[in-house]
Amino acid sequence: MSFSRLLQVTLQSPLFCFSPSSNSTLSFPFFTLPLPPTQKPLIAKASFSSNMVKAIRVHELGGPQVLKWEDVEIGEPKEGEVRVTNKAIGLNFIDVYFRKGVYKAPSLPFTPVPGSFNIEGDEVSNDSLAIGSFTGVRFPPTYYRKEHKEMIGCQRSMEAVGIVTAVGSGLTGRKVGDLVAYAGQPMGSYAEEQILPADKVVPVPSSIDPVVGASIMLKGMTAQFLVRRCFKVEPGHTVLVQAAAGGVGSLLCQWANALGATVIGTVSSKEKAAQAKEDGCHHTIIYTEEDFVARVNEITSGNGVEVVYDSVGKDTFQGSLACLKLRGYLVNFGQSSGTPDPVPLSTLAAKSLFLTRPSLMQYNVTRDELLESAGEVFTNVASGVLKVRVNHTYPLSEAAKAHEDLENRKTSGSIVLIP
């Protein structure tokens, strides 16, 4: 990145402005950098907001112990942004993927605020940014988003419900005091407060409790696109839901049942089998005690199922393929047991199977899609079609314990962190 580009990016940050104090140096609040001889001096000043909040930060990829409870600085919302005080934060397995590095995270070592800097396809990461020939530049912990340029804080979660406490200039449609929710990008909800793009938050109906809203935003919209758009479940279909007692699995079972499908669910224990039954599973399979492929074959009289929703990945992937009927769909939307092995196309050809690895982000591209998806979720919660089971709450400061319990399969239903 050129030096002029560095100036442009930094000046755009809502918490950081600077100026060269002479023709030879740039003076920042905590350090001085040499100024290239070709760069003309500017007139400006350096300043930081003193608004500090608590947040979970990740300095290295690894186990739950890398989640650190620290002070971070947050600024005021810019045009098109809102500041939100979080009331409840949803915990999802995707948070574990990012923490461990299964999904792409900033390069190591990194401090998760500021996190990832995406500028026109170039990515520079961590708190010791390497920009051109400059290293050691520490940027303020904030979120910046303008068109396709963005600086995203990397506290690991992707959904929350909170109260709008400030709005950027010129913004309409959102106001201080609104109860709002968001799910997806930008990451960073493991914090007491955060700055968000206003077009990424949705209004939460007064009938929805913040804890319920936080527990269902990401999982609910995931279930919505899986059963309504990715593979459209219809009456008469038979579906298999792997990990049927999990956060998304529970919602998939309820929604598919309400749509008129016969639902088969796999679980790890008798207790989870009972929960899956309550959630609409017509048949439950305890995969630790029996071969789920053989059992599905028995239930379907050898015909197989129209679709398998599989968030487990490596341990169930081949079995999920074997459970499909002719022209069946395997929808792999997670990999809690690890990344599946590569699949030769000839494996799919045997029964003309369809295989997809969808993402919520690609199904909620526009604001209209986002509002429609969230609206359908909230409507189904309010009507009783979806019953949200928040079985576990933890203080946000104990996020590491929550991650540990989730990975060790000590949880069922939804998990919520409370700031």
Tens digits of residue pLDDT in 246-284: 889 999 999 999 999 999 999 999 999 999 999 999 999
Instruction: Kindly report which listed range (2-6, 127-131, 281-285, 322-326) carries the lowest average pLDDT score.
Output: 127-131
Q: Summarize the confidence of residues 209-227 as an average pLDDT.
A: 95
Higher per-residue pLDDT: 224 or 144 = 224
Whether the predicted pLDDT of 13 surpasses 60: no
Helices and strands, counts by H and E, the chain: 11, 24
List the chain domain ranges: 51-111+153-215+389-417, 231-357
Residues 225 and 116: beta-carbon distance below 8 Å: no
Q: Summarize the confidence of residues 122-135 as an average pLDDT.
A: 25
Query: What span, in angstroms and rounded, lies between the C-alpha atoms of 142 and 139?
Result: 9
Residues 221 and 371: beta-carbon distance below 8 Å: no
pLDDT band at 105 (very low <50, low <70, confident <90, very high): low
* Fold agreement between 51-111+153-215+389-417 and 231-357: no
Instruction: Kindly report which listed range (152-161, 273-282, 288-297, 308-317) carries the lowest average pLDDT score.
Output: 152-161
Residues 82 and 88: beta-carbon distance below 8 Å: no
**CA distance to 134, 137, 197, 338, per residue, from 341 (Å):** 41, 40, 37, 9
pLDDT band at 386 (very low <50, low <70, confident <90, very high): very high
pLDDT band at 128 (very low <50, low <70, confident <90, very high): very low
Residues 230 and 363: beta-carbon distance below 8 Å: yes
Query: What span, in angstroms and rounded, lies between the C-alpha atoms of 161 and 390?
Result: 15
> Rounded mean pLDDT of the chain?
79
Residues 378 and 214: beta-carbon distance below 8 Å: no
pLDDT at 143: 31
pLDDT at 27: 37
Instruction: Kindly report which listed range (44-58, 181-195, 205-219) carries the lowest average pLDDT score.
Output: 44-58
Q: For the purposes of burial, counting CB atoms within 10 Å of the CB of 365, is it exposed (0-12), middle (13-18) or buried (19 or more)?
A: exposed
CB neighbour list of residue 40: distance below 8 Å, 6 or more residues apart: 23
DSSP SS3 for 179: strand
Q: Summarize the confidence of residues 133-143 as an average pLDDT.
A: 28
Q: Summarize the confidence of residues 124-133 as an average pLDDT.
A: 25
Q: In which residue are the tokens 């369809």 written?
A: 354
pLDDT band at 53 (very low <50, low <70, confident <90, very high): very high
Whether the predicted pLDDT of 196 surpasses 80: yes
DSSP SS3 for 123: strand
Instruction: Kindly report which listed range (102-116, 143-157, 161-175) carries the lowest average pLDDT score.
Output: 143-157
pLDDT at 157: 60
Q: What type of residue is 163?
A: I
pLDDT at 189: 87
Query: What span, in angstroms and rounded, lies between the C-alpha atoms of 96 and 389?
Result: 21
Query: What span, in angstroms and rounded, lies between the C-alpha atoms of 154 and 187?
Result: 6
Residues 214 and 88: beta-carbon distance below 8 Å: yes
Spell out the CATH class of 51-111+153-215+389-417.
Answer: alpha beta
Query: What span, in angstroms and rounded, lies between the C-alpha atoms of 127 and 72?
Result: 13
**Has domain 231-357 been given CATH number 3.30.1330.90?**
no
Query: What span, in angstroms and rounded, lies between the C-alpha atoms of 222 and 206?
Result: 22
Looking at mean pLDDT, say which of 14-28, 119-133, 363-377 comes out highest: 363-377
Query: What span, in angstroms and rounded, lies between the C-alpha atoms of 93 and 89?
Result: 13
Q: Summarize the confidence of residues 139-156 as an average pLDDT.
A: 33
Residues 115 and 106: beta-carbon distance below 8 Å: yes
pLDDT at 389: 84
Q: In which residue are the tokens 């479940």 written?
A: 233
The b-or-e profile of 247-286 (16+ CB within 10 A means b, else e) is bbbbbbbbbbbbbebbbbbbbbeeebbebbbebbbbbbbb
Higher per-residue pLDDT: 24 or 223 = 223
Residue 316 token pair? 């169930």
